[in-house]
Structure 1
Amino acid sequence: MAWPAFAEAVATPAAPGVPASAILQTALGLLAVIGVLFFAAYLLRRANGGRGFGASGPLRMVGGLMIGTRERIVVVEIEDTWIVVGLAPGQMRTLHTLPRGELPATSGAEGDFASRLAQMIGRKS
């Protein structure tokens, strides 16, 4: 919608007895409130170091693995330590503690699977 068409639509009263200025004032007020909310969210994210709203302090989740429908194993980093934690409904247990390391680079495991699958399909046909 082009700007002149929008201005014409706003200038036309929506209901009898409602002035166009009231509609325009309401629309501008709504835009101002939404703008303030976005600005506040930007400031909060910037103050938190770009980590979002839930992240705080030196705690960082390195990775995780779903074991069942409601069970997980998670690796959490706290400063120079990795903690392996088992999570289940209503339970959280430390499984292992180890010094901070590097995540292993993904070796061509996906490529190996693809080549083996191609070989197996080739054998059947």
Structure 2
Amino acid sequence: MSSTASSESASGLDSLAVGGDALVGMATLGKTAAALALVIAIILVCTALLRRWNPQKRAAGGHLRVIGSAALGSRERVVIVEVEGTWLVLGVGGGQVSKLHELEAPARPDGEASRPPVEGERFAARFARALKHNAGLGGRGRGDS
């Protein structure tokens, strides 16, 4: 009887050891998953904070402001940038920036100085209006009724 009891006892210890290894493996997997979730949460919080503070608007001490941009190709863009009262029309693409044109920024009324561009307004319409205003054409152009 003692041999049967000892063999049952040995098989019970073996099954406990195998079960213990499985529990340790599951605990390690759980810790790894928790660490990964923590890293992802930190990344999401940092991204939300950066979007809220929007460092792009404060670049170069507030002297640089992107007026608008338009894609010309898959990697080429035309960008209008205002720097200290001057608009620069820049061509951006292929790892380089080229100045295409330079003109004085149009005078803005005091109320409009801090107003961001209208969300639904297209770049082409804003650019055409700015060019008309700068050229002195004012209200009615070819496309206006």
Pick the TM interval, shorter chain.
0.3 to 0.5
Give the TM-score, by structure 2 length: 0.42
Larger Rg: 2
| Higher percent of residues as helix | 2
